[in-house]
Chains A and B, each alone.
Chain A
Amino acid sequence: MHPLPVAEPGVRRVRRSVGDRWAGGVCGGLAEHTGVPAWVFRVAFVITALLAGLGALAYALLWLVLPLAEHPAAGGRRTSPLGVGGLLGVVAVVLGVLVGLQAAGLPVRLSLWAPLVLAGGGLAVLWRAGDDARAAARRRASQSADAQVLDRATEPPAAAAPAGGAVEPGAAEAGAAEPAWSVGALDAGARLRVLAGVGLLVLGVIGLILPRIALRDALQSVAATAIALTGMAIIALPWASAWSARRRAERVAAIRAEERAAMAARVHDSVLQTLTLIQRRADDPVEVARLARTEERALRSWLYAPPGPSGSLAAALAEVVAATEADYDTRIELVTVGDVVVDDRVAALVAATREAVRNAAKHAGAPATVYAEVADGAVEVNVRDRGRGFDPSSMGADRHGVRESIVARVQAVGGRAVVRSMPGEGTEVRLELPAQPAGSSDG
């Protein structure tokens, strides 16, 4: 299960770079897209920023509009030369330059530019923190990419976080559309950075507004605004929580849709193909039966858990049975009780079972049952068919394999093999492997 692809395949979109970035990765992204070195864009933006801030505005717009690059882990993990702390440094340096220019007698309107730089720096820090959170969420998501979808779908709905829409770590879609602003998503360090950004922004805005209005009026309007905002927050709270609940429901629905899509794909890829094949081979009943059986087995093991983990006796026998059913036109029922890890001895038992099952399929002309039981470390496998049977005392040339491939094989690992058969009564092969004295295997 992987996050849904964001862009249509084949369309290359400009994305902000994660590896090559100073502020928002806009220049790095443009460079990756166009092939022009990033520093060209950087210089261009800085120069145009000096033209009444146009470059800065354009940069901010691009930062907002362009999506973050999809694979943060790829792209060599070139760490950006400027972290959030670096951005704060840039703000300080620019402020210092402005002050210096004014002190040098140049006509710099410090009362306008200083707050603007502060506010712009604050915004950059905030956005950058958001980018980092999103990239981190995506990295986590791709690391836990094989986490079960079901687990995500069935997890109990978390208590609605008052902060609203907390980004769940590991949620695969977090990177796709989620604006990772929400404070709940961030670790302590990120919170500090967000705080710094907000501080800068507020300072800048206050610095812009304060000199232009009277202080008393300002305090009054701030109080009035605060009261109004509180009221609105109280009114909006139920809506906000409903909104977050709806988002959660939508996410569950999306996971379900994903599962349905997987089911549809499965039906299309295998079931429909097999049905088509069956129609085309309708004149060959043996082939039709074989196709149907193979498909049934595949579908079953997909729908229900496969019989035992890989490397277990149950799984090994299931494989033997499936292969034999596919090769011969017959039905074999497999019943296993208990299970054990396949070691060398058990492997010999499985190999002998394969011979017995193939013999049954080849000669019996009737369905067979394979029964395996593991109890207290001892393993028994019983292969029984109700087919023609034979007289063991007059084994033909083609039965020679029984002694070699079944009896001798099991005896070589300290087991016992008994072949019972009577003409017309079917054949039964019983293979027994006693528990190992060391007791290394377990039931």
Chain B
Amino acid sequence: MGEQDQHLRVVLVDDHALFRAGVAAELAGAVELVGQAGDAPEAVAVIRATRPDVVLLDVHLPGGGGRAVLDACVPELPGTRFLALSVSDAADDVIGIVRGGARGYVTKSVDATELLAAIQRVAAGDAVFSPRLAGFVLDAFSRGAAPAADELDQLSPREREVMRYIARGYTYREVARELVLSVKTVETHVSAVLRKLQLSNRHELARWAQARGVV
């Protein structure tokens, strides 16, 4: 979380104007809010025009959902990172949006400091895992004990350990202290898990993602 001297440029995408206003007020002064959008086509246009550092992206959006925005923007804007926001705790929502290219996921009940920390972490290229997302990952990668041939289909013991601490509610810093690692190493592990989450062909992931139309 080094480069906070110049404010991060953020676009906020959510179909509830009231929620956008609330988040904008909470983040005011901490980030530079360069654009807002209420549906998927509008979001794509705003993101293309402003090329922000981070997009806060609602999972459920008119016009194709958060997935449509990811599909349109992720390939052409490698510098823009996406952080998913949702009221839904459903696994297919969460896994679907992460597999669509989001680098993290927070629920809308997250408080302002946590949200800001998540934005900064995503902007730095790391992944943001909520306890719930870590729980989903552990669930998805633990079922079917048969050793998978593909490295992508399995968590390393260390990655699993990190995920379990995050699921218990530990911050990255606390995980690092607990496992006697640097925070950077923890972030590396989490990013590796994110990559597996996005690329693995594990049946559970495919099933969850399919339910949201993201494969």
A contact set with B: CB distance below 8 Å:
300, 304, 331, 333, 335-338, 368-369, 371, 373, 375, 382, 384, 386, 428
Excluding A333-B132, A373-B164, 4 further A-B contacts by CB distance (< 8 Å) are A304-B89, A331-B109, A335-B131, A371-B131
A373 to B164, CA, bound (A): 9
Query: What chain A residues lie within 8 Å of B142 (beta carbons)?
Result: 337-338, 375
A117 to B134, CA, bound (A): 79
CB of B138 within 8 A of CB of A384, answer no
A304 to B89, CA, bound (A): 9
CB of A369 within 8 A of CB of B139, answer no
Contact segment of B19-27, B76-84, B150-158, B166-174: B166-174
Within 8 A of A (CB), among B140-198: 142, 164, 167-170
Q: Nearest-CB distance from A121 to chain B (Å)?
A: 59
Query: Could you say which of B90, B167, B169 has the most chain A C-beta atoms within 10 Å of its C-beta?
Result: B169
Tell me, yes or no, whether B41 is within 8 Å of chain A by CB. Answer: no
Identify which of B90, B138, B169, B170 contacts A337 (C-beta below 8 A): B138
Identify which of B89, B132, B135, B169 contacts A384 (C-beta below 8 A): B169
Q: Nearest-CB distance from A191 to chain B (Å)?
A: 44
A369 to B171, CA, bound (A): 12
Q: Nearest-CB distance from B16 to chain A (Å)?
A: 15
Q: Which 3 A-B pairs have the closest CB atoms?
A: A369-B169, A335-B135, A371-B168
A304 to B91, CA, bound (A): 10
A382 to B138, CA, bound (A): 15
The answer to whether residues A335 and B132 also contact, given A371-B168, A384-B169 and a CB cut-off of 8 A, is yes
CB of A300 within 8 A of CB of B164, answer no
CB of A333 within 8 A of CB of B139, answer no
Interface residues of B, dominant DSSP: helix
CB of B139 within 8 A of CB of A338, answer yes
A336 to B88, CA, bound (A): 16
CB of A337 within 8 A of CB of B89, answer no
Query: What chain A residues lie within 8 Å of B134 (beta carbons)?
Result: 335
Query: What chain A residues lie within 8 Å of B89 (beta carbons)?
Result: 300, 304
CB of B139 within 8 A of CB of A337, answer yes
Query: What chain B residues lie within 8 Å of A333 (beta carbons)?
Result: 131-132, 169
CB of B168 within 8 A of CB of A382, answer yes
Query: What chain B residues lie within 8 Å of A336 (beta carbons)?
Result: 135
Q: Nearest-CB distance from A149 to chain B (Å)?
A: 20
A331 to B109, CA, bound (A): 10
Query: What chain B residues lie within 8 Å of A338 (beta carbons)?
Result: 139, 142
Q: Nearest-CB distance from B27 to chain A (Å)?
A: 20
Query: Could you say which of A335, A338, A428 has the most chain B C-beta atoms within 10 Å of its C-beta?
Result: A335
B contact set with A: CB distance below 8 Å:
88-90, 109, 131-132, 134-135, 138-139, 142, 164, 167-170
Query: What chain B residues lie within 8 Å of A331 (beta carbons)?
Result: 109
Q: Nearest-CB distance from B140 to chain A (Å)?
A: 10
A338 to B164, CA, bound (A): 13
A157 to B138, CA, bound (A): 39
Q: Which residue of chain B is the closest to A430 with respect to CB atoms?
A: B168
Q: Which residue of chain B is the closest to A425 with respect to CB atoms?
A: B174
CB of B168 within 8 A of CB of A337, answer no
Query: What chain A residues lie within 8 Å of B135 (beta carbons)?
Result: 335-337, 371
CB of B169 within 8 A of CB of A304, answer no
CB of B169 within 8 A of CB of A368, answer yes
CB of A304 within 8 A of CB of B90, answer yes
Q: Nearest-CB distance from A334 to chain B (Å)?
A: 9
A336 to B89, CA, bound (A): 12
CB of B169 within 8 A of CB of A373, answer no
The answer to whether residues A371 and B88 also contact, given A331-B109, A337-B135 and a CB cut-off of 8 A, is no
Q: Nearest-CB distance from B96 to chain A (Å)?
A: 14
Q: Which residue of chain B is the closest to A339 with respect to CB atoms?
A: B139
Query: What chain A residues lie within 8 Å of B138 (beta carbons)?
Result: 337, 373
- 26 pairs from A and B in contact (CB 8 Å cutoff): A304-B89, A304-B90, A333-B132, A335-B131, A335-B132, A335-B167, A336-B135, A337-B135, A337-B139, A337-B142, A337-B167, A338-B139, A338-B142, A368-B169, A369-B169, A371-B135, A371-B167, A371-B168, A371-B169, A373-B164, A375-B142, A382-B168, A382-B169, A384-B168, A384-B170, A386-B169
Q: Nearest-CB distance from B155 to chain A (Å)?
A: 12
A384 to B109, CA, bound (A): 18
Query: Could you say which of B131, B164, B168 has the most chain A C-beta atoms within 10 Å of its C-beta?
Result: B168
Q: Nearest-CB distance from A321 to chain B (Å)?
A: 13
A426 to B132, CA, bound (A): 20
Query: What chain B residues lie within 8 Å of A300 (beta carbons)?
Result: 89
A384 to B131, CA, bound (A): 12
A377 to B169, CA, bound (A): 23
